[in-house]
Structure 1
């Protein structure tokens, strides 16, 4: 299983997954052993908020799950179409978030009513619906 973490500093979980340039990609084998993360920095045109779905390969193709502090509905639907589950959490430690996700104990996200409203408004105008 491949799990991608939105991470602005390549250490901790960050939010705004649709606009994230930096990602940590962990692999977990069938025994639950978790690899050291691969660092991926997306060029601007590969950031999901801006990416054009034209059949070309993407650096995060093959990801099974994405963990982030926040994401809009448009991003979540877009990732579901790409075959990835999006998990929102309040956990900021990337390695712990992956371990918790695999153990099905990932903490719930913090409520963010203003942020959610902004995301919903932006999703209205998003090309990813």
Structure 2
């Protein structure tokens, strides 16, 4: 199983996964213990938000992607390629990958994704 964790600083789990370009990659052989196998540091045009959709994208090789926030469009795009997205309140990438395997990954708060548009509620 391949697990990606969005981490702009390569230390903690960060959000805005669709615009993110840095991911820590873990593998879990036989769904046992996890170990880091690599890091993605993508150019801006390879963030899923900017990607033109041609060819393959390295994130589509994952089985799961863990992030602290993302929009529905990101979840749907990843899901259409067979990648399950999990939003979590966990901040440690290794702990999150281990918790995912154990079925104990804490869920994050639902994200209101408005692309910077102002909404006025009366």
TM-score, normalised on structure 1? Answer: 0.83
Q: Confirm or deny: 8 A CA contact 2:60 2:82 kept in the other structure.
A: no
Q: Could you list the runs of 4 or more consecutive aligned residues of structure 1 that deviate by over 4 angstroms after TM superposition?
A: none
1:23 corresponds in structure 2 to 23
Larger relative helix fraction: 1
Which secondary structure state, in structure 2, belongs to the residue aligned with residue 3 of structure 1?
strand
Q: CA-to-partner distance for each residue in 1:9-34, whole Å, 9 max, x for gaps?
A: 11111111001111001000105121
Q: How many residues matched?
A: 115
Q: Once superposed, what is the RMSD of the aligned Cα atoms?
A: 1.3
Q: CA-to-partner distance for each residue in 1:42-101, whole Å, 9 max, x for gaps?
A: 1111101111112x1222231000000011000000000111000010000000000000
Which secondary structure state, in structure 2, belongs to the residue aligned with residue 60 of structure 1?
helix
Q: Confirm or deny: 8 A CA contact 2:65 2:84 kept in the other structure.
A: yes
- Mapped partners of 1:8, 1:37: distance in 2: 17
The 5 A counterparts of 1:103-118 are 103-110=102-109, 116-117=111-112
The 5 A counterparts of 1:1-129 are 1-30=1-30, 32-54=32-54, 56-110=55-109, 116-117=111-112, 119=113, 121-122=114-115
